[in-house]
Structure 1
Amino acid sequence: MSINIHAIRAIYRFEMARTWRTLMQSVISPVISTSLYFVVFGAAIGSRIPEVGGISYGAFIVPGLIMLSLLTQSVSNASFGIYFPKFSGTIYELLSAPISYLEIVISYVGAAASKSILLGLIILATARLFVPFEVAHPVWMLLFLVLTAVTFSLIGFIIGIWADSFEKLQVVPLLVITPLTFLGGSFYSIDMLPPFWQTVALFNPVVYLVSGFRWSFYGLADVGVGLSLAMTMAFLVAALAVVAWIFKTGYKLKV
């Protein structure tokens, strides 16, 4: 089966162009919000917390804050990207066009992931203005960045198809993704928790994402990097399976 590169490029460029039209919401606002986290947690609170695993607290939270923005923005970008055609009714023109479901997913998820990766790199550069740090394994850092962005863009794509109102579009990011990220070791090591809560934390999927990403910076992890990578791939495969089922059954797409 040949891939319609022209269709993918057209949708991808349209979605990326929306980023520049909404630059304040898409890029500037998340960067400012993350900078405030650095000021509050890194400077104000960090001065009262000793080093974590030999890493200053300000530097320790850098991977967690990047991951927090990456997860929320991936879900938000992908969910709104596919929901708006549903809301406006243009989704039916897309479904009847000579473009496969695979090409639709590649276009929308690729654009959402690209935005999130770009934002993550901007936040990474911004973090250097607040705390000194080094990336011990840059290739692994980029790998985790790309895999996480694609996985959660797929999850956002699923949410965008499932939602039938703008309120539902915000339910999962606000009530599920953000709390899991805050409780997933973004601002602390789970080794600092009592034994019972350490066990509970291991059921939080975000722990594996944050841990693997932090390892790529400092060689410091709450769980083994192999397990983090395996769990990330498992989430990716699960999201792909759900997307495949949606297009196979026409769930929320066909009247």
Structure 2
Amino acid sequence: MDLQYHQQALQLAGHSAAVSAAAVAALDELETRHDITLPASVREWYSLASAVEILRRYSNDDRPYRIEELGRPADEESDCPDPVASQGLLPFMVENQGVCYWAVRLDGSADPEVLVSFEDLDPDSWLPHARSFSEFVLTQIWDRPTGDGNRHVHSKGEQPTPADLTALGELFERLPSTANSTTHRFVGAAGDQRITLIEEMWGGWACYLWAATDQLLRELITTLRTRTSLAQALRSYDDQSAGARLLAALPTTASDPRHVSSTGGLG
């Protein structure tokens, strides 16, 4: 079955487009209960048998709502008004410690904007997060290898310059940005090289690199170091990983803490 909104995301996750009759029935009941028509992209995604599990797996242990919970889960301890009725919003996932909530705007569009709230379900304002629900799902899945891959390396504090972003756009395919354009994604080698640049909530930037093979990761690091100001002081989370071994074999740079200056001290 070909999907209109989520084919790329589903292929990236390695799942087939298997529609669940039980899920479709639950969506019908949800629409009747709230007296709404779900956006086409939301309904397409949640019609899939694996929809909720994929969102859970490709997250930071966050909790996506089951279909019957969409809008407000039954166990949500809050006395704020129903966000569907009062705000025209459909919350669909909460961060693993309840730090934030994600919701789609029920504005009649087929593939609506995704918003984020850091103030429970009834904030003074919801903040833009993704231009559409389909982009949210795609980027959730796409980001995951950069977080736990064996060939994952990262650096902190390297804010991309306009020249960096221009160069990356020329060298790689640009994927959607999220969180009000504070996350930038680029992909190369038919998806086997990935770059994620994130402005972190507590300040500073992070650069995450991932590749499917040692050679592709070596090429990715070398390209970024020669064509941008990024990837100069990379680290690996696991000293035994392929990424760590590759970094140890690469020449050091002037900003790499392993670099030793001519005076014998750290550069």
Q: Give me the TM-score of the superposition, normalised by structure 2.
A: 0.27
More helix by share: 1
Q: Give me the TM-score of the superposition, normalised by structure 1.
A: 0.27
Larger RCO: Structure 1 or Structure 2 (Cα < 8 Å, ≥ 6 residues apart)? Answer: 1
More strand by share: 2
The structure number with the bigger radius of gyration is 2
